[in-house]
Structure 1
Amino acid sequence: MFHWESQSATREDSRDGRRYVHHAEQGSTVHLFIRATDAGAPPYLYAGPMTYRGHEGERPMRILWDLAHPLPADVFHYAKVNTG
């Protein structure tokens, strides 16, 4: 799973909120790119497709995504350290 927060004004009934929640039934795929800030690291790492699992709140929406593939161990550690 991957936890992500939308932009601060996004509500479930907004155009973007509906797009996140209903992406699969609308025929679109969401892909995760992770930005590493370490010097010398590639600007983004492609982590693969993900599917909406659920969310809490609005403004911002706190969305849980199911990842199609597990994150590599070093990327998982980096993400966990930087988010707490």
Structure 2
Amino acid sequence: DQAVVCCWTGTGASIAANKVPGVRAALCADAYTADGARRWNDANVLAIGLRLTSAPVLREILDAWFAGGPSEDAEDRDNVAHVERLDEDRRAAR
């Protein structure tokens, strides 16, 4: 499952989305960052700032995001697993 969230700067939307268990939201201002967030971090929520994102750039970001997918590289998968463990530890500490 994926989602797209946005607000004026994208920061608040990203912070709020990352409070939801299992969400890995990435604030992306360009297509390269969107592709990398999907590939290397297995991000599942795209956060976008509306203030500075033009329509053509938004289209590039969305195209990169939806065309991308998680890397199968072992190091990348280990990084994602590490973040998941951090989330689990935080939930267990409550």
* Range of TM-score over shorter length: under 0.3
- Structure number with higher helix proportion: 2
Name the TM-score, length of structure 1 as normaliser.
Answer: 0.27
Asked which structure has the greater RCO (Cα within 8 Å, sep 6+), the reply is 1
Higher strand content, 1 or 2: 1
